[in-house]
Amino acid sequence: MKHNCIAKKKFQYIVFFLSKICYICILIINAKECRAQSEVYLSIKTGGSEYIGIGIGGFEAYGDTTGIITRDSTLVIMVKNTFVDDLNRSSLFQVKNLSDSLQAVKGDMFAQWRAAGAQYYVFGAEKIGSNTITVTVIDLKTAATVLNEEYRIESQRPWYTAHVIVDDMIELFTGLRGSTSSQIAFMSPYRGDSHEVYLVDADGRGRKQLTFTKTLKLSPAWSLDGKQIAFSSLIDLTWSLMTVNVNTGQSLDISTWKGLNITPSWSQVDTDIIAFSSNRDGNSEIYTCRSDGKQIRRLTNHYGIDSSPSWSPDGQKIAFTSDRSGQPAIYIMNRDGSDVHRLTFNINSYEDLPCWSPRGDRIAFVILFDRGFDIATVSPSGDDIVMLTSGEGSNENPRWSPDGLRIIFTSTRLGGKNLFIMNRDGSDVRPLTQDSLSFSPSWSPAFSGNDIRVTSRRQGR
Amino acid sequence: MRYRGKVLLILALGVSLSIASLDGCAKKKATTPPAPPKVEAPKPKPAPPAVVPKAPEKQEEGVPRDLMFKTVYFDFDKSNIRPDQRSALENNAQLLAKYGTVKVRLEGHCDERGTDEYNMALGQRRTDSVLSFLTSYGISDSRSETISYGEMRPADPGHNEAAWAKNRRCEIIITAQ
B chain contacts of residue A328, beta-carbon cutoff 8 Å: 114, 118
- Rounded CA-CA distance A79/A76 in Å is 5
Predicted confidence at residue A68, as pLDDT, reads 46
Q: Which domains does chain B have, with CATH numbers?
A: 6-36+64-176 (3.30.1330.60)
A280 CB burial (10 A radius; 0-12, 13-18, 19+): middle
- Rounded CA-CA distance A51/A390 in Å is 23
pLDDT tens, position by position, B8-31: 555 455 445 444 444 434 444 444
pLDDT tens, position by position, A227-281: 999 999 999 999 999 999 999 999 999 999 999 999 999 999 987 899 999 999 9
Looking at the complex, does the CB of residue B86 fall below 8 Å from at least one CB of chain A? no
The answer to whether A237 and B147 have CB atoms below 8 angstroms apart is yes
- Residue B121 forms beta bridges with which residues? none
Residue B51 binned pLDDT confidence (cut-offs 50, 70, 90) = low
In 3D space, the residue among A387, A429, A391 whose CA is nearest the CA of residue A409 turns out to be: A429
Predicted confidence at residue A47, as pLDDT, reads 37
B chain contacts of residue A307, beta-carbon cutoff 8 Å: 117-118, 120-121
A chain contacts of residue B121, beta-carbon cutoff 8 Å: 260, 262, 277, 279, 284, 305, 307
Phi and psi at residue A329, to the nearest 5°? -145, 170
Phi and psi at residue A76, to the nearest 5°? -65, -35
Phi and psi at residue A135, to the nearest 5°? -115, 135
Interface test with B, best of A307, A324, A409 (most B CBs within 10 A): A307
A293-331 in b/e burial notation, b at 16+ Cβ within 10 A?
A: beeeeebbeeebbbbbbbbbbeeebbbbbbbbeebbbbb
The answer to whether A397 and A404 have CB atoms below 8 angstroms apart is no
Which parts of chain A register pLDDT below 50?
A: 1-3, 22-49, 64-71, 100-105
Predicted confidence at residue A56, as pLDDT, reads 86
A chain contacts of residue B115, beta-carbon cutoff 8 Å: 308, 352-353, 366, 373, 396-397
Interface test with A, best of B76, B80, B117, B148 (most A CBs within 10 A): B117
Predicted confidence at residue A155, as pLDDT, reads 87
Predicted confidence at residue B174, as pLDDT, reads 96
A5-174 maps to which CATH number? 3.40.50.10070
Domain boundaries, chain A: 5-174, 183-443
Q: Using alpha carbons only, how large is chain A's radius of gyration in Å?
A: 24
- Rounded CA-CA distance A160/A444 in Å is 16
- CB proximity under 8 Å: B 101-120 to A: 105, 113-118, 120
- Rounded CA-CA distance B67/B54 in Å is 19
Looking at the complex, does the CB of residue B152 fall below 8 Å from at least one CB of chain A? yes
Element housing A19 (H / E): helix A5-24
For A365, nearest residue in chain B (alpha carbons): B115
Tally DSSP H helices, then E strands, for chain A.
Answer: 5, 30
Complex-level ipTM: 0.84
A chain contacts of residue B120, beta-carbon cutoff 8 Å: 218, 239, 260, 262, 307
Specify the DSSP class assigned to residue A1: -
- Rounded CA-CA distance A440/A220 in Å is 7
- Rounded CA-CA distance B146/B106 in Å is 5
Phi and psi at residue B80, to the nearest 5°? -75, 155
Element housing A109 (H / E): helix A109-115
Q: Residue A160, Cβ neighbours under 10 Å: how many?
A: 24
For A305, the closest of B116, B125, B149 (CB atoms) is B125
- Rounded CA-CA distance A395/A366 in Å is 8
pLDDT tens, position by position, A391-438: 999 999 999 999 999 999 999 999 999 999 999 999 999 999 999 999
Angle (CA) A164 A167 A172, round 5°: 130
**Greater confidence, A42 or B84?**
B84
| Cβ–Cβ below 8 Å for A284 and B148 | no
- Rounded CA-CA distance B170/B79 in Å is 10
Question: Percent of chain B having pLDDT more than 90?
Answer: 62
Angle (CA) A48 A221 A202, round 5°: 55
What 3-state DSSP class applies to B26?
A: strand
Q: Residue B153, Cβ neighbours under 10 Å: how many?
A: 16
| Cβ–Cβ below 8 Å for B124 and A352 | no
Q: Where are the beta strands (DSSP E) in A109-216?
A: 120-127, 132-139, 145-152, 183-188, 196-201, 208-209
Packed helices A5-24 and A26-40: angle between N→C axes, nearest 10 degrees: 100
In CATH terms, is domain A183-443 a member of 2.120.10.30? yes
Torsion of CA A293, A297, A299, A300, to 10 degrees: 90
- List the alpha helices (DSSP H) in B18-115: 86-98
- Rounded CA-CA distance A208/A3 in Å is 44
Residues of A with CB under 8 A from a CB of B: 191, 216, 218-219, 234, 237-239, 259-260, 262-263, 277, 279, 282, 284, 305, 307-308, 321, 323, 327-328, 350, 352-353, 366, 368, 372-373, 396-397, 440
Q: Peptide bond preceding A189: is omega within 30 degrees of 0, i.e. cis?
A: yes
For B117, the closest of A234, A262, A327 (CB atoms) is A262
Element housing A441 (H / E): strand A439-443
Angle (CA) A424 A430 A436, round 5°: 120
Residue B33 has pLDDT above 50, yes or no: no
What 3-state DSSP class applies to A164?
A: helix
Q: Give the global pTM.
A: 0.81
Residue B60 has pLDDT above 90, yes or no: no
Predicted confidence at residue A16, as pLDDT, reads 59
A344 CB burial (10 A radius; 0-12, 13-18, 19+): buried
The answer to whether A307 and A324 have CB atoms below 8 angstroms apart is no
Q: Where are the beta strands (DSSP E) in A38-92?
A: 52-63, 67-68
Summarize chain B as % helix, strand, coil (round to 5).
30, 15, 55
A72-111 in b/e burial notation, b at 16+ Cβ within 10 A?
A: bbebbebbbebbbbbbebbbbbbbbebeebbeeeeeebbe
Predicted confidence at residue A190, as pLDDT, reads 86
Q: Which conformational region is residue A386 in: left (phi greater than 0), alpha (psi within -120 to 50 degrees), or beta?
A: beta
Predicted confidence at residue B6, as pLDDT, reads 57
